[in-house]
């Protein structure tokens, strides 16, 4: 059944090469998904060669992990690795028909990145943003063709979370929206079309939950007790672990954006910003598994 507001799927354009801007946590996860599910070349870029190399290495290691779990064959692992390229030259994006960004969550940074990449790509190539809570329409403000921009919001961990929020702006063309819906389907994800409002749907609700959890902590209940108190709600993970999963900086940014948009309705936790600066909420073992709350983090709280 076609989701409400979805355009005719016949309008979808074919994707033959994907460009990924940003080589961090989210970008490498979805770069792998694109290469695995669409089986097309994926080119990934970042500010410098070191970040690009690290991103490509992360994707290669994840391909090895899929091989070790016998989810893919050795042949497929080699084929997927051969499809991933790193570059610092946007000219390598020239023949991409789908370019998606997951760079720093700062409006001007995203605007400039897209205005720059637009110079190198075909007029009908789609631009997608994985922004968590910025306005997609504003991200496209410096584009010559804002109708080619769509929000395409993944969730952490990308390989596991089944949803993509497809965000349409007043300018997004039906062809671009149809391409985004078809792409989500080809990535084997469920897509919902959301309006371009702060936090779309999921982060709007999470910002409320995490903001209130932080507020309870700031009013004196321990984080461990807030987590324990919320356990009966059946959340897939406690709020503290969810914050760690999305990243303290991203979490603080999401609360900040919501508070600025709706000051009376969303709490912006100063302590979460301090924790983000400190860097961690948990003490972890060498493999990254949580051992308990970090003592320095508890002092901040
Ligand atoms: N990174 C990558 N993969 C992970 C992972 C992680 N941090 N955590 C778990 N996985 C993978 C495992 O490897 C496993 O994969 P496999 O089947 O291929 O081996 C699979 O997930 C299941 O792992 P577990 O058996 O350990 O499953 P759990 O039952 O513990 O579930 C979870 C783990 C799926 C992460 C679950 O706890 C969950 O759904 N948590 C909530 C996550 C959530 O709400 N995400 C949205 C955050 S908001 C966001 O991202 C938006 C952004 O804009 C802020």
Q: What ipTM describes this predicted complex?
A: 0.94
215 is annotated as an active-site residue? no
As a whole number, mean pLDDT of residues 110-130 equals: 96
**Over residues 271-290, mean pLDDT:** 95
| Opening angle at CA 22, ends 271 and 117, nearest 5 | 125
pLDDT at 2 over 70: no
Distance in angstroms (rounded) separating the CA atoms of residues 219 and 209: 15
- DSSP 8-class letter at 232: G
pTM of the entire structure?
0.94
What are the structural domains, with CATH classification, of the chain? 9-195 (3.40.50.720), 202-296 (1.10.1040.50)
Q: Is the pLDDT of residue 37 over 80?
A: yes
Question: Which is the catalytic residue, given 145, 153, 259, 273?
Answer: 153
Pocket test for ligand 1, best of 24, 131, 152, 157 (most atoms within 8 A of CB): 157
Q: Is the pLDDT of residue 1 over 60?
A: no
Q: Please say whether the beta carbons of 117 and 46 come within 8 A.
A: no
CB atoms within 10 A of CB 146: 19
List the end-to-end C-alpha distance of the chain, in Å, as a whole number.
48
- Helix, strand or coil for residue 127? strand
Q: Are 271 and 217 contacting, i.e. CB atoms less than 8 angstroms apart?
A: yes
Per-residue model confidence as pLDDT tens digits over 218-236: 999 999 999 999 999 999 9
Rg value, the chain, Cα = 20
Q: Average pLDDT of 242-264?
A: 94
Residue with CA at minimum distance from ligand 1 atom 54? 246
């Amino acid at each position: 059944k076609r989701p409400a507001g979805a355009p005719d799927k016949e309008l979808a354009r074919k994707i033959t090469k994907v460009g990924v801007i940003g080589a961090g946590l989210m970008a490498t996860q979805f770069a792998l998904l694109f290469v695995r599910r669409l089986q097309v070349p994926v080119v990934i870029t970042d500010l410098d060669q070191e970040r690009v190399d690290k991103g490509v290495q992360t994707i290669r290691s994840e391909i090895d992990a899929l091989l070790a779990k016998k989810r893919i064959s050795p042949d497929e692992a080699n084929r997927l690795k051969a499809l991933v390229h790193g570059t610092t030259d946007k000219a390598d994006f020239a023949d991409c028909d789908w370019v998606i960004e997951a760079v720093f969550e700062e409006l001007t940074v995203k605007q400039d990145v897209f205005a720059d990449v637009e110079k190198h790509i075909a007029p009908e190539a789609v631009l997608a943003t994985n922004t968590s809570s910025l306005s997609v329409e504003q991200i496209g403000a410096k584009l010559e063709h804002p109708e080619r921009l769509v929000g395409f919001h993944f969730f952490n961990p990308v390989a596991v979370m089944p949803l993509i929020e497809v965000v349409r702006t007043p300018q997004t063309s039906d062809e671009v929206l149809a391409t985004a819906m078809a792409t989500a389907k080809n990535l084997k994800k469920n897509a919902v079309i959301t309006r371009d409002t702060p936090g779309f749907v999921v982060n709007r609700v999470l910002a409320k939950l995490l903001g209130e959890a932080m507020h309870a902590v700031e009013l004196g209940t321990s984080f461990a007790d807030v987590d324990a108190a919320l356990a009966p709600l059946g959340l897939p993970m406690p709020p503290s672990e969810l914050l760690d999963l999305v990243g303290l900086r991203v979490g603080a940014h999401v609360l900040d954006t919501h508070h600025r948009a709706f000051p009376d309705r969303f709490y912006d936790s100063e302590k979460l910003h301090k924790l983000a600066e400190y860097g961690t909420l948990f003490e972890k073992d060498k493999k990254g598994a949580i051992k308990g709350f970090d003592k320095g983090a508890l002092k901040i709280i």
